Amino acid sequence: MASVLSALPAAGSFSLRLSGGGRFGSAAWAGVDGELDALGRLRERVRAALTDAGFPSDSRPYQPHLTVTYRGDGAVRAALAGHASPPWTVDDFVLVESNDGDYRPLRSWPV
């Protein structure tokens, strides 16, 4: 996987921010706003390269978000509903390993 991602040419940084929120089942999430076209292009470049290399692809519609909690907490969802963070610049993307709720960055690449 790392060799496939290393072959992707950088397309340039872009800006995002967290905005609003909601839930998927019991998970509370923060929405993402900003240069969503650039984020979608990055996602598609990564997805296409990995699919072409034989990795499975998720067929669900792409919904950029940040999962905040997997507990059904109404207070968290209420706080997220009106939240708007300052923007930040996306300079890289990271391959992350997930194991029983532990997340470990493995490697990053420039966007």
Give the DSSP letter string of 4-38.
Answer: HHHTSPP---EEEEEEEEEEETTEEEEEEEESHHH
Segment 72-83 mean pLDDT: 85
Q: Please, which pLDDT band fits residue 24 given cuts at 50, 70 and 90?
A: confident
- The residue segments making up the domain with residue 49 are 2-9+35-110
**Domains identified in the chain, total number:** 1
Q: Residue 98 domain-assigned?
A: yes
Q: Residue 66 domain-assigned?
A: yes
Judge whether residue 106 has pLDDT over 90: yes
Q: Residue 14 domain-assigned?
A: no
Q: Residue 47 domain-assigned?
A: yes
For the chain, the average pLDDT equals 93
Q: Residue 30 domain-assigned?
A: no
Q: Residue 103 domain-assigned?
A: yes
Higher pLDDT, 55 or 58: 55
Q: Please, which pLDDT band fits residue 101 given cuts at 50, 70 and 90?
A: confident
Could you tell me which residues are beta bridge partners of residue 94? 108
Task: Write down the pTM of the prediction.
Answer: 0.87
